[in-house]
Amino acid sequence: MSTSVEPRGWAKAALHVNGWFVYMFFYAPIVLLVIYSFSNSRNVGTWGGFTLDWYRDFFDSSNARGALSNSVKIAIFSTIISVVLGTMAALSLERFTFRGKKVFDALLYLPIIIPDVTMAVMMLLFFGEFFDVLDALFGLGLRKGFWSISISHIAFNISFVSVVVRARLAGMDTDLEEAAIDLYASRWKAFRYVTFPQIVPGIAGGALLAMTLSLDDVVITQFVAGPGWTTLPVYVFGLIRKGVTPLINAVSVTMLVVSMLLVVLSIVAQRVRRSG
């Protein structure tokens, strides 16, 4: 199977070393983190024997549990909304022509490229004004918390969802929709029975990606979260200020495992098409 463009001799050896080097660079910190989360010692970095105490502390702490439940609520809510809006945006961009389409297309990618801090400051300003206006007009007295965090997460997740769904739609022939309409399907039925089943893997992939991003976000969430509303990553960030304990390791490992599961699921979902 070897071809003439494959590296040979010292070049091949160097590439191997490079490969291992890169893996070490990536994963050594993660391995350390996982190991020390089981360490029975208050000092991070000294091994004091195996224990599950830190994990127990994490699940016993009402603050941590509260933050976890906040994170999950926001992740689920913002994912649902951004999947619906993102999929609709993807459909409109792939299947229709309208005035200002190019501008809409370019603007849709903006949340992916602007730095988190910029987005966070924008959101902070926006909610400061917006909630005041709502308060003045309707006397709602909204406070920062669930709604402000969710809306912020929806704002950047729409972009990611629509990118993923669009890639899927682009790979689907418009022929299929025409065939459905030729076979007596209404527009809606053509979507329901033909387009939707075709793009489900893309939607699922986008949803899992959105959920991961929502669960992991610190910067934006920290800016727009109000008092009493902490998500898990923000809680971890807060713990560090009080001193690093292996509890943080345990929390981080838990988040890591959940995130990795979601990413793997997202990849699997997007691959389904090839076998289907």
Partner 1 sequence: MTSAVELSGITKRFGDVVAVDNVDLSIADGEFFAMLGPSGCGKTTTLRLIAGLEFPTEGSLSIFGQEVGTLTPDKRPVNTVFQNYALFPHLTVLENVGFGLKMQGIDKETTRRRSMEMIELVQLDGLAERKPSQMSGGQQQRVALARALVNQPKVLLLDEPLGALDLKLRQEMQLELKKLQRDVGISFVFVTHDQEEALTMSDRIAVMDDGKLLQVATPEEIYERPANRFVADFIGQTNLLEGTVSDSETVILENGVSVRAKNGFSAGTHVAVSLRPERAHIQSQGEFEEGWSHVNGFVETVTYLGNALIYGIKLDWMDLEVREENHPGVELYKPGAEITVSWDPDAISVVSD
Considering beta carbons, is residue 113 or 173 the nearer one to partner 1?
A: 173
What is the nearest approach in angstroms of partner 1 to the Cβ of residue 272? 10
Residue number, 122 or 172, with CB nearest to partner 1:
172
| Residues contacting 75, CB < 8 A, separation 6+ | 153, 211, 214, 215
d(CA 60, CA 76): 23
* Least distance (Å) between residue 174 CB and partner 1: 9
Contact 218, 251 (CB under 8 A): no
For the bound state, the minimum distance from the C-beta of residue 276 to partner 1, rounded and expressed in Å, comes to 6
Structure tokens that stand for 53 in this block = 């105490």
The backbone torsions φ and ψ at residue 50, rounded to the nearest 5 degrees and listed phi first, read -80, 135
Amino acid at 246: P
Report the nearest approach of partner 1 to the CB of residue 195 (Å).
10
* C-beta closer to partner 1: residue 180 or 213: 180
Query: Cβ of residue 97: shortest distance to partner 1, in angstroms?
Result: 12
Which CB sits closer to partner 1, 157 or 198? 198
Q: How far is the CB of 266 from partner 1 (least distance, A)?
A: 20
For partner 1, give the closer residue by CB, 29 or 197.
Answer: 197
Which SS3 state, helix, strand or coil, does residue 98 take?
coil
Take residue 152 and report the two structure tokens written for it.
């912020």
In the bound state with partner 1, the residue whose beta carbon lies nearer, of 151 and 181, is 181
Structure tokens of 56? 């127990």
Q: Quick one: 120 or 190, whose CB is closer to partner 1? A: 190
Q: Least separation, in Å, of the C-beta of 210 and partner 1?
A: 24
Sign of CA dihedral 25, 31, 34, 36: negative
DSSP character for 145?
Answer: S
- 3 state SS of 2: coil
Angular region, 49: left φ>0, alpha ψ -120 to 50, beta rest? left
Task: Give 2's contacts (C-beta < 8 A, 6+ positions apart).
Answer: none
- In the complex, the residues that contact partner 1 under the rule CB under 8 A are 173, 175-176, 178-186, 189, 193-194, 197-198, 276
